Structure 1
């Protein structure tokens, strides 16, 4: 199986629909944060960046009376559950190794505890990296979801991210195991 690239992910209609809806600029920023955090936590950078990029793919738009309602979202949202399923299906369709697609989906599922009952989860290093990458780019009242980026700039940033990931994988002898 080949390594699914960010350019392939970006060009897929599911990514275009759902990641753009939840904020492409936020998704890219989180992926870059995850790349740095992956080094710090000893996590596979390919898995970390893909999970961070796709972490909000399950967002639903919560509106009341024609306007976005952040409180309604915070009260009722389960985007991590829907996102894990949606990302897994997308990655499998693009040819990602099923084991890697599952790890990515689980990291997306657990990137937030907003939908879980009170308690404490023990996160794996990958899951922790994705949660931290998301937190690193958050803005009050969900404003990080509304930053914009042109398709050209997004593709340029994702192409560069692909290059950085290949370099990181090669540095840690993971590249042959990934492709």
Structure 2
């Protein structure tokens, strides 16, 4: 059972402030990528779409002399850490099941290894899907964060995605019941 929808997340002021800052068009695109990847990798699409939609909610704006500085971002950013905490708090406030909120927060924490020392992370399937969804929409130099989308279109697209996730959840429930 879904406790929180993507549209509910979109409508929340915290999401509006922080996801818009990091790129709403990118967030919506990643949610769609996550849906398709979740089906392919047999991962819960509800958790995958929420984590992908919120994966950059922890971004900080790195500026030098009034201009975005991608090199500062690459060198010092820890957005996955901040985003994990921020998304968890938001999901709990909206009434998400605590176990689901934790899984989504961990997927956000591990969607990138840019803040970690060189090494290898072994991701669970949900974490892997969210990382792949982010990679699928990336553009060189962080340009994916600057694409725009109107609020109306973003909300409509997320509403359509909510319906797909719900239909998939209902289909799975029926198949398990047979």
TM-score category, normalised to shorter length: over 0.9
How many correspondences in the alignment? 175
Q: Give the drift of 1:40.
A: 1.0
Secondary structure of 1:29's counterpart equals helix
Contact 2:4–2:96 (CA<8 Å) still a contact in 1? yes
The aligned counterpart of 1:160 is 160
Tell me, in whole angstroms, the C-alpha distance in 2 between the residues paired with 1:111 and 1:147.
20
1:171 to partner: Cα distance: 1.6
Q: Which residue of 2 aligns with 1:122?
A: 122
Counterpart in 1 of 2:138?
Answer: 138
State the match for 2:79 in structure 1.
Answer: 79
Which residue does 1:50 correspond to in 2? 50
Question: Contact conserved, 2:2 with 2:46, CA < 8 A, in 1?
Answer: no
SS in 2 for 1:56: coil
Structure 2 residue runs without a partner (length 5+):
none
Post-superposition CA distance 1:107-145 (Å, at most 9, x none): 000000000011101100000000000000000000000
Alpha-carbon distance between aligned partners in 2 of 1:168 and 1:24, rounded to the nearest angstrom: 24
- Give the stretch that moved more between structures: 155-164 or 165-174: 165-174
Superposed displacement of residue 7, structure 1: 1.1
Match status 1:109 vs 2:126: no
User: In 1, are the aligned partners of 2:48 and 2:126 still within 8 Å (CA)?
Assistant: yes
- Shift in Å, 1:2: 5.3
> How does the TM-score come out when normalised to structure 1?
0.95
What RMSD, in angstroms, separates the aligned Cα atoms of the two structures? Answer: 1.3
1:10 and 2:10 matched: yes
TM-score, with normalisation over the residues of structure 2? 0.96
Deviations 1:28-78 (A, max 9, x none): 000000000001111000000000000000000000011000000000000
Question: Which stretches of structure 1, 4 residues or longer, exceed 2 Å deviation after superposition?
Answer: none
Uncovered stretches (5+) of structure 1, i.e. residues with no partner: none
